[in-house]
Amino acid sequence: MNLILLGPPNAGKGTQAKKLYADFHIPQISTGDILRKAVKDGTELGKVAGPLMASGQYVPDEVVIGIVEERLKEPDVAQGFVLDGFPRTPGQADALDRMLARLGKKLDAVISLEVPHAKLIERGSGRRVCPNDGSVYHVTQSPPTRAGYCDKCGAALVQRPDDMPEVVEKRLQKYDTETAPLKHFYAGKGLLKTVDGVGSPEGIYEEIKAAARKP
């Protein structure tokens, strides 16, 4: 199963991609995760991407397109993949079409998670992450046992710079102008399925599975 999870920042794409992996062993390809790792490791890619990410800008198309093409060549995506956070622009969507054709793959569905803006801002502003092991918490929805500290390793939790309210606003604006139009692009190809992204992660996951299976 080859899927795209489309949706604004904090829509829950990452959570759902992990569930799909647990059930179907189709790897999550998250350009955001790959870029965050590059920033943490201090690589050349990380030096380019870091300041853009921290201010809510997009990383240039040619950079993320190259990352995804390399990843799609790995043997573990032979049985399928879930793209999370890519494509984000019309240029990326066109490039994806071309690279999938070159690799002899095709998309089965593009699932758009629909969540109102106010909810997205609330999710972002309450999120805390462990800088050590990547665990993710939310101050009210899924708080750690000891406020401010990771349950698994005890490290002090931090707020990602791109979860700051003013950056979230900017990312949402960018999503609306540059990424949301991709829904029309994929609807035109008969691939778009919309799913309500408000509710329990388990319920949303069931909806996603049903949508992905629908012809």
The footprint of ligand AMP (CB under 6 A) covers 9, 31-32, 35, 52-53, 56-59, 64, 85-86, 88, 92, 162, 171
* Selected catalytic residue, list 88, 123, 128, 193: 88
Beta bridge partners of 142: 138
Q: Which residue's structure tokens are 């102008």?
A: 177
**Between 154 and 165, whose beta carbon lies closer to ligand AMP?**
165
Please give the residue whose beta carbon sits closest to ligand AMP in the complex. 32
Q: Which two tokens stand for residue 91?
A: 């240029």
| Residue 18 near residue 5, CB atoms below 8 Å | no
Q: Is 88 a catalytic residue?
A: yes
Is residue 163 classed exposed, middle or buried when 0-12, 13-18 and 19+ CB atoms within 10 A define those classes?
A: buried
| Residue 125: both structure tokens together | 């502003």
Residue closer to ligand AMP, measured from CB, 105 or 170: 170
Report in angstroms how near the CB of residue 40 gets to ligand AMP at its nearest: 13
Q: Which is nearer to ligand AMP, 59 or 129 (CB)?
A: 59
146 is catalytic: no
Query: Active site includes 123?
Result: no
Q: How far is the CB of 9 from ligand AMP (least distance, A)?
A: 5
Helix axes 90-103, 61-72, angle to 10 degrees: 20
Active site residue 105: no
Helix (H) or strand (E) holding 41: helix 31-41
Catalytic residues: 13, 88, 127, 160, 171
